[in-house]
Amino acid sequence: MKPYKTPAIPASEITPKTLFYARRKFMRNAGGAALTALLPQSLWAAGPFGDLKKSPYAVEEELTPRKAITSYNNFYEFGTGKEDPAANAGVLKTRPWTVSVEGEVNKPKVFDIDDILKMAPLEERIYRLRCVEAWSMVVPWLGFSLAELLKRAEPTGNAKYVEFVSLYDPAQMPGQKSAVLDWPYREGLRIDEAMHPLTLLTLGLYGDVLPNQNGAPVRIVMPWKYGFKSAKSIVGIRLLEKQPTTSWMKAGPNEYGFYANVNPDVDHPRWSQTKERRIGEFLKRKTLMFNGYADEVAPLYASMDLQKYF
Amino acid sequence: MSFRNLGNKTVGRIKVGVFMLALIPLLKLCAGAYSDELGANPIEKISHVTGYWTLTFLLITLTPTPLRRLSGWPWPVRLRRMLGLFAFFYGCLHFLTYLVLDQFFDWDGILEDIVKRPYITVGFPAFLLMIPLAVTSTDNMIRRLGGKYWRLLHTLIYPCAIGGVVHYWWLVKRDLTNPIIFAVLLGVLLGARAVYRPRTTKPLYSKIVKR
C-alpha cells in the first residue's frame, strides 16, 4: 500500500494575510457587539440620549424584558385590557408637548418637553415596580429627580401637596370615551414625597425614549408606591395647600388611598398584598415593605398609622 | 327543512360540531402557550380565559330550556348535557390553574383566600356545586335518581351560575363591562324560566314537600 501523501496546496487556496487578519477583526467586533447586547443598558446606552449619568438607585435584580414592560400595561386612557395600551397608544402625539407648573409657586411656568429633556443630566435608574394587582417588574427608567423641575418654579411655603394631571384628549385616548375613571387622570403626592430624590421625572426606558404605552413623553415614577400612583403622559403639575383627590380615590375610596405605599401588611380589601408575581417568574415572591425602599422612604411616614393612611 | 324537528342523525352531527367548537378555546390556549404568545403574564391569561369560558358554557347550558319553551324546538335540549360538561371541564381547568399555576399548592394561601377574599369565597363553592352535577350526568345516574330528584338536584346550576357571575363581578378591578354582560344574560335566562313556565307540570317543590 502506498503511503498517503499530502497534496500540495495551490497558491489560489491560501487566504491572503490581510483578509486573514480582517476576519479576526470582524469576529472580535461581532463578539464584542454580541457581548454588549447582554450587558445592562447603562453600559451601552449611546442611544438618543448620549452618555447617561450613573445612578446609585439601581437594584441588582434581573431586568424585566423590554417586550414585557412595553406590552403589559395599565394605562386606562388607552383601554382597560393589559394589551390595549400597546395596541392603541401609537396614535398619541408627543410633540408639541408642554408641562405647566402652577398653584402655590412663586414662578409659575410652562415647560416645553424638549427643554425638560435638557434640564438636568438623565440618569438610568433601575427600579422595582409593584402593581396594586400583585405583579411586579424591574424597570430601567431614564430621567432625573422631580425636585429638579419643581425647584425651578419655587414652591411657596403653602405648597403642601402636588397634583399631577395627565392628558385629556378622547380623540387620541379612546379609553377616555368610557367613564371607567374620572378623567383627566389625577394623581398626587405630599410635597416631601414629591421632593424626595427617589421620585423620578421619567423620560425614557431601556436607554431609549419612553414608549407611548409607558406614559410618553413624560411621567413620574415612585418605586415605593403602587404603580397607579405613577401618573403617565403628564401635562400639568399643581402645587396645592390641601390634599387633592385622585382618580383612583374617587373610583374606590375604600380600596385606593392617597398614599398607596407598597405594604404587605395592608391588604387590598379584595385581595392579599403579601406576595407578588414577578413577571417572568413562576413562584410568587414576598412583597417588601415600601417595595424594598424602606431605608430611603420610611422616615417620611415615621409617625403615621399606615393601616389608616393606606 | 324545519329547524323544529331534526332527525337523530342531524342532531348527532350538530353534537360533533359543537364538541369541536367547544374545544377551540383550549386549543388556542395550548397554541399560545407553545408559541409563547400568552403575553407577559401567562398564568393570569390562562386563568382569565378558562374562567371566561366556564361562565360562557354555564350560560349556554342554561339556554336550551327557555329556547324550547319559547320556540318549541326540542332538539337543543339534547346538547345540554355536553354543554354542561364543557362548563365543568373549563371550570376544572380554571380551578387547576389557580391551584397549580397561581398558588402552586400553597394551602395556607388558598385557605386564606377562601375565607378572606369574597370573590374566592363565592367562586370556590360555585365550582364545587358543579361536581355533583357532572357526576350525575350519566343516563344511569338519571335512572337511579329518578327524573324528579335528578331535576331538583340539577337546579344547583342556578346558584352555581349566579356564584360564577358574582365571582367575576367582585374580582375585576374597575372595568365591569364583561361582568355586567354576563349578569344581564344570566338574568334574561333565569327570568325567561320564571315567565315561561311549562303549562303541564306543577312546580317541582310543592310535589316533593307534599310527600
Q: Is residue B124 part of a domain?
A: yes
**Interval A75-113: pLDDT, tens:** 999 999 999 999 999 999 999 999 999 999 999 999 999
Asked if A41 and A49 touch (Cβ cutoff 8 Å), the reply is: no
CA–CA min distance A3, chain B (Å): 56
Nearest to A270 among B41, B109, B118 (CB): B118
Asked if A63 and A138 touch (Cβ cutoff 8 Å), the reply is: yes
User: Quick one: how far is CA A54 from the chain centroid?
Assistant: 16
Q: Is residue B1 part of a domain?
A: no
CB contact under 8 A, A135 and B112: no
Q: Is residue B153 part of a domain?
A: yes
Does the beta carbon of B44 lie under 8 angstroms from any beta carbon of chain A? Answer: yes
Blockwise average pLDDT, block size 10, chain B, 211 residues: 80 96 98 95 97 98 93 91 98 98 95 95 97 96 94 97 98 95 98 80 49 40
CA–CA min distance B123, chain A (Å): 13
CB contact under 8 A, A280 and B40: yes
CA–CA min distance A233, chain B (Å): 21
CB contact under 8 A, B175 and A80: yes
Work out how many domains chain B is built from and give that number: 1
CB contact under 8 A, A68 and B40: yes
Q: Is residue B54 part of a domain?
A: yes
Give contacts of A133 with chain B, Cβ < 8 Å: 173
Q: Other C-beta atoms within 10 Å of B207: how many?
A: 12
CB contact under 8 A, B41 and A180: no
> What structural domains and CATH numbers belong to chain A?
43-259 (3.90.420.10)
Q: Which domain holds residue B190?
A: 8-210
Does the beta carbon of B78 lie under 8 angstroms from any beta carbon of chain A? Answer: no
Question: Which of A2-11, A31-40, A73-82 comes out lowest in average pLDDT?
Answer: A31-40
d(CA A185, CA A233): 10
Asked if A272 and A238 touch (Cβ cutoff 8 Å), the reply is: no
Give contacts of B116 with chain A, Cβ < 8 Å: 267, 272
Q: Is residue B3 part of a domain?
A: no
Nearest alpha carbon to residue A187 among A159, A218, A212, A166: A166
Q: Is residue B185 part of a domain?
A: yes
> How would you label B164-176 residue by residue, b for 16+ Cβ within 10 Å and e otherwise?
bbbbbbbbebebe
Residue A302 — φ and ψ, nearest 5°? -55, -45
Q: Is residue B29 part of a domain?
A: yes
CA–CA min distance A122, chain B (Å): 28
- DSSP-derived secondary structure letter, B97: I
Tell me what ipTM this predicted complex has.
Answer: 0.86
d(CA A65, CA A281): 12
**Interval A195-228: pLDDT, tens:** 999 999 999 999 999 999 999 999 999 999 999 9
d(CA A58, CA B110): 35
Nearest alpha carbon to residue B38 among A178, A103, A279: A279
CB contact under 8 A, B174 and A275: no
d(CA A231, CA A99): 13
- Res B4: pLDDT: 77
